[in-house]
Amino acid sequence: MKPTSFRLPADALERLRALTQSGESMASVFQRALIALEGSPPPVSLDRLAARLDALEARLLALERERLPIMPERPPMIAGDRDAGILWRFQSGETKRAIARQLGIAESTVRAVLKRRAL
């Protein structure tokens, strides 16, 4: 069972506030204090962590650019063929909710069409 609260000496809160760095939460101050008590090496500097985060975000953006979903060419449809449009969108990977919103119809209608088509 995880403890949800604990008592500290009266001056402990002020001492902890003095240890906080700009933008740091009280939880991270407690973690740093516990690491120091355990004799572990100090955590990585905030500047180094920020640099690693920036590198990860840049890599993520690059991966997202490379892996955009390739949508097949839309097949020609007869005007008013809503069912075929729903089927095509669903097979292209769109969710039922997204299809309903884009077509301005109820999600239950999309489900019924897909059920008729046995999908």
Domain boundaries, the chain: 13-66, 82-116
Read out DSSP for 41-73? PPPPPHHHHHHHHHHHHHHHHHHHHHT---PPP
Confidence at residue 41, expressed as pLDDT on a 0 to 100 scale: 60
Closest CA to 31 of 20, 18, 22, 47: 20
> What's residue 84's pLDDT?
84
Binned at pLDDT 50, 70 and 90, residue 79 comes out as: very low
d(CA 87, CA 73): 14
pLDDT reported for residue 35: 77
Instruction: Specify the higher pLDDT residue, 93 or 80.
Output: 93
Rounded Cα gap, residues 100 and 10, in angstroms: 58
User: Residue 108: how many CA atoms within 13 Å on its side-chain side?
Assistant: 0
Q: pLDDT value at position 6?
A: 67
What are 8-56's pLDDT values in tens digits?
Answer: 777 877 877 787 788 888 788 878 877 777 765 656 677 888 888 888 8
pLDDT at 89 over 80: yes
